[in-house]
Amino acid sequence: MKNKKVKNKKAPKFLSVFIVALIGLGACLALIAFLAVSVSNDIANLNAAIDRLNAIHENSETDMPLAVEYYRELSSKTDAAINTILMVVSIFTMIIVAFGAMLAFKTPRDIEKRMDKLNGLIDEAKEAAENAKCEAENAEYQAKILEAINVNLSSLDDKLTNATRLKQIASVIDKYPDKYEAYVERARILIEMCRKSKFSNDKREELLWRAIDDFKDARRYGHSIYKNYNGIGIVYDKLNQCDKAINFYAEAIKEKPDYADAYNNRANTYYDMKKYEEAIKDYNEAIKIDNDKAVYYNNRADAYYEKKKYEEAINDYDQTLRIDPDYNLDKEELEILREKVQQEKLEQARKEEQGEVVTAET
């Protein structure tokens, strides 16, 4: 698993904007405080001027020019105070308007970005939901197809002629051309036809090559590689191309080392080639993987028999019947073999006994 690189996270943009806005607001507040102090001074001066004017009115001895001068001073200070107040109000209003304008321009853009992001998330969620729905529908469709295939294949009556069965398989393939099960089933039927029916060599080879083509089509549509190689190996064995059969069995075993059937089938090919030692080794491997199949013991018993290892053969034949009492085994022949082995043992014992007597007499 690759280590993910940790990206340096940048400070959010809104933080820098907030800092700038805070500095600007501080400056504005400082300016307002300065103007407020100025207004306070002007108002104090204005109050002082008013007090002096009141004093002039109370002192009748003060001449008129002085009164006029104070009135002018009062008017001037009043104007200055009013102008300062208006300036403060204007600046404060401008700040509010500017801040409002900033919000007015910024907020819609932020909202628009967030809405775009939200819409994007919604679209992604919709797409994911649609994909999930499509996958579920596809899985359901595939299940229906497989069920239909199984129904069609299971409807093949063994009592029907092989030609009729092949026609039924062909109709299944026409409906579901991308399902490997039908190709495998047709290949199986073709192999069975060659085993049970009597055909000319040319016809037999034609059917077996069709079976190989079906296995190749099945592999293209998803048939397990190890099972596919095993099936092709069986066909090559029927074609008496033993070397190719062994190669395909070896490939099947390479794909799945615990594939007992491939070991058994390769052993059968070795048996046909009269390579009994190699056959026994592969039968041993098949039994080691699956020791509960009667056919493996029966096949190994046949190889032992050919090697004249009759006791080992009898033991395997007996094990065959223990696993499957109804196994198609000639029990009379087995008893004859058992008696033969017993007679050989007695003969050997007799010879050994005679040898000991001769040795003692000499």
151 domain-assigned: yes
Mean pLDDT of 309-332: 93
333 domain-assigned: no
165 and 98 in a single domain? The answer is no
315 domain-assigned: no
Tens digit of each residue's pLDDT (9 = 90 or more) over 138-164: 555 455 555 555 555 555 455 567 778
107 domain-assigned: no
The one-letter amino acid at 65: P
Specify the range with the lowest mean pLDDT, choosing from 161-165, 176-180, 190-194, 355-359.
355-359
Tokens of 126: 């919709």
Last residue of a domain, one of 164, 197, 223: 223
How far apart CA 234 and CA 137 sit, in angstroms, is: 38
132 domain-assigned: no
Q: What is the reported pTM?
A: 0.56
Residue 68: is it exposed, middle or buried by C-beta count within 10 angstroms (0-12/13-18/19+)? exposed
232 domain-assigned: no
Check residue 324 and give its pLDDT.
94
Per residue, the 3-state secondary structure of 141-206, as one string, reads HHHHHHHHHHHHHHCCCCCCCHHHHHHHHHHHHHHCCCCHHHHHHHHHHHHHHHHHCCCCHHHHHH
163 and 213 in a single domain? The answer is yes
167 domain-assigned: yes
Overall domain count for the chain: 2
Residue 347: CA count within 13 A, CB half-sphere: 6
Provide the domain limits for residue 94.
21-102
Check residue 6 and give its pLDDT.
38
Last residue of a domain, one of 75, 102, 129: 102
Please report which confidence band the pLDDT of residue 279 belongs to, taking 50, 70 and 90 as the band edges: very high
Residue 276 has pLDDT above 80, yes or no: yes
30 and 81 in a single domain? The answer is yes
Contacts of 173 (CB under 8 A, 6+ apart): 182, 183, 186
Mean pLDDT of the chain: 78
Check residue 131 and give its pLDDT.
76
236 domain-assigned: no
147 and 219 in a single domain? The answer is yes
Tokens of 362: 């000499």
Tens digit of each residue's pLDDT (9 = 90 or more) over 335-354: 999 999 999 888 888 888 77
Last residue of a domain, one of 208, 223, 238: 223
Residue reference for tokens 């089938």: 265
